[in-house]
């Protein structure tokens, strides 16, 4: 095959356009490699954005639980009027206001939690506590970020253990 000389680089006739120069195989491979490296960097940098998005979903889900519990408090179809749903573990649904209960957007760990709010003995206090463990990194060793929902509203806290009482501690 006869090669064509044009403006400083050599082209094989197979890669030449009519009346113009093309690219060598090496040049194409270098461009593909650079694009691959840049794509890898972008994908790695999106990891933090994905974590933040999952945490935002968890917070929205817990806000939804809080809203459903408030709506259910005055709804006789959810159970007793002027009472929150009582459950040892997270209920499958909160009346017709939240069906089904949301699932964790990640692997399930961090996860959603529910504190047993069944009234026992003389404890007839009506309360509840649902929470999500966030993926956000705590500034204190051994702590995790929690997002709580109870009759006082929603809030977050950086603490060593999940809540164990209602309302959330």
Q: What is the pLDDT, as a whole number, of residue 50?
A: 87
Q: What is the pLDDT, as a whole number, of residue 67?
A: 94
Q: What is the pLDDT, as a whole number, of residue 125?
A: 62
Ordered per-residue pLDDT tens for the chain, 169 residues: 565 555 665 555 555 555 557 889 999 999 999 999 999 998 888 878 888 999 999 999 999 999 999 898 888 888 777 788 888 888 889 888 898 989 888 876 668 999 988 876 555 568 899 999 998 888 899 999 999 999 999 999 999 999 988 888 8
Q: What is the pTM of this model?
A: 0.73
Q: Is 4 exposed, middle or buried (0-12, 13-18, 19+ CB in 10 A)?
A: middle
């Amino acid at each position: 095959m006869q090669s064509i000389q044009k403006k400083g680089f050599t082209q094989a006739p197979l890669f030449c356009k009519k009346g113009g120069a093309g690219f060598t195989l090496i040049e194409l491979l270098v461009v593909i490699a650079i694009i691959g490296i840049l794509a890898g960097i972008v994908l790695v940098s999106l990891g933090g954005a994905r974590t933040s998005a999952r945490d935002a979903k968890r917070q929205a889900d817990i806000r939804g639980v809080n809203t459903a519990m408030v709506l259910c408090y005055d709804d006789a179809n959810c159970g007793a009027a002027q009472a929150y749903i009582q459950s040892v573990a997270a209920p499958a649904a909160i009346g017709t206001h939240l069906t089904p209960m949301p699932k964790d957007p990640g692997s399930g760990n961090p996860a959603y939690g529910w504190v047993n709010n069944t009234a026992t003995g003389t404890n007839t206090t009506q309360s509840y506590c649902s929470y999500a463990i966030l993926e956000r990194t705590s500034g204190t060793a051994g702590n995790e970020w929690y997002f709580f929902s109870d009759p006082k509203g929603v809030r977050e806290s950086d603490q060593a253990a999940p809540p164990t009482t209602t309302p959330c501690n």
